[in-house]
Amino acid sequence: MSTSNLTPKQRMQIARQEMPAQDPAVRRNNFGEVNLGMEAELAKLEAERCLQCRDPKCMKGCPVNVNIPRFLDLLTAGDMAGAANSLLSDNALPAVTGRVCPQETQCECECVRANRGSPVGIGYLERFVADWARSNQDAITLVNAAPKGKKVAVVGSGPAGLTAAGQLARRGYDVTVFEALHRAGGVLVYGIPEFRLPKKIVDQEVERLVQAGVKIECNVVVGRTYTVPELREQFDAIFIANGAGLPMFMNIPGEHYKGSYTANEYLTRVNLMAAYDPDSDTPIIKPRRVAVVGGGNVAMDAARTAQRMGAERVSIVYRRTKAEMPARAEEVHHAEEEGVAFDLLCAPVEIVANEKKWVTGLKCVRMELGAPDASGRRSPVAIPGSEFIIECDVVVSALGTRANPLLTQTCPDMKLDKRGNIVVDEKLMTSIPGVFAGGDIVRGAATVILAMGDGKRAAAAIDDYLMAKA
């Protein structure tokens, strides 16, 4: 089915192309995007590396099931409009996922070429095609199905909500998205920093959905402004994707001192509230030394943000080693390149402060890896008497989140698990008929793409549900 003239052997000879990036020494001082995107020639060459497998394993690794070989083949043939329409029909937010997906554990790790050398740069190519689509909106010919005369409410405009909204609009539903904050995008605008995902791109992806007929109402806090039972009276179905919410704490002394932030607060101040812009009204502490506790993507984002806000030393404090860090490989690599230090095998025990209650340091204990635990990971064990202090004026805790009770509090009939997350069946339906849920409020903290996968599955399930009722 391939349209390329190259033989598989010739394809195998092409080496993986590198993503052009801003120089680390330069970018650590600005909020511009780190990866600069590929030129057309480079992208085409990279796409030629795809072997067009008859049984494409890469697709199985993709939570939203993008038909990867198809859009790569169209890209190779130079049919950009075809590639863009193909990609967008599978994925509502490709300019986002092309930038923030952990490809190395999903599509790219399944790529047959990963076994012998490097996988096809699927993420880079997704980004390339999505960016082309952003500047060539007229070439997008996807149309909505005939109106079905049914209304669906989507709670939350993060990755899960936007994906579901896009898919439902395409299927002919009248969709309204309710967003609690003043701007659509959820974690894509409050959490993920500008240098990894420019906010302009999120706005454009949202705008495309609005053009496709999705209505977005900001400043509506479901659970307060409207309850789920109230929405249920006005809508034929509801998809709840209000995210995880409440940040977790270390539960060590000193977490209330001035200079102790949760990553959510630190990132929200800088991203959503634009504290990186000197003209913004949003106050933020400008630290000299920063300790970021945690080893996930959010920790990397916070550390790299602090670096850009002018800190002299930023370190990641993590109780295991780099190998166990849950962050995306590229983020750890970028952080290292930018000069973020790694205080590994360290566990915080106390935040220390001066007499005016400003943070002056993070007291830690050194750890060593002991015997493997039930999950097979070697669990860290504290070394007695090894306490030491990491000097810093800001501590950012990036320890994950727990369920936000705002919505569920006012929906007593909805079944929750013991952590407060919403329980759903295999069709993502909650214990209330017609009310579906997905993303972090079901999974606990996960990734953008897993949330999007839920959004896509929920849209199909809602369609089935409403069609069966019709």
Q: Which residue ranges make up the site for another protein (CB under 8 A)? A: 180-182, 190, 218-221, 224-226, 243, 245-247, 249, 255-256, 258, 261-262, 264-265, 268-269, 273-274, 277, 279-285, 357, 404-406
Q: At closest approach, how far in Å is the CB of 443 from another protein?
A: 17
Residue that is written with structure tokens 């200079």 in the block: 259
Q: At closest approach, how far in Å is the CB of 281 from another protein?
A: 5
Cα gap 182→177, rounded to integer Å: 13
Q: At closest approach, how far in Å is the CB of 119 from another protein?
A: 35
Decide whether 132 or 226 has the Cβ nearer to another protein: 226
Decide whether 173 or 235 has the Cβ nearer to another protein: 235
Decide whether 74 or 187 has the Cβ nearer to another protein: 187
Decide whether 14 or 284 has the Cβ nearer to another protein: 284
Cα gap 374→238, rounded to integer Å: 38
Decide whether 182 or 469 has the Cβ nearer to another protein: 182
Alpha carbon of residue 469 to chain centroid: 34
Q: At closest approach, how far in Å is the CB of 219 from another protein?
A: 4
Q: At closest approach, how far in Å is the CB of 55 from another protein?
A: 42
Decide whether 244 or 345 has the Cβ nearer to another protein: 244
Cα gap 319→252, rounded to integer Å: 15
Q: At closest approach, how far in Å is the CB of 457 from another protein?
A: 25
Q: At closest approach, how far in Å is the CB of 21 from another protein?
A: 30
Decide whether 246 or 446 has the Cβ nearer to another protein: 246
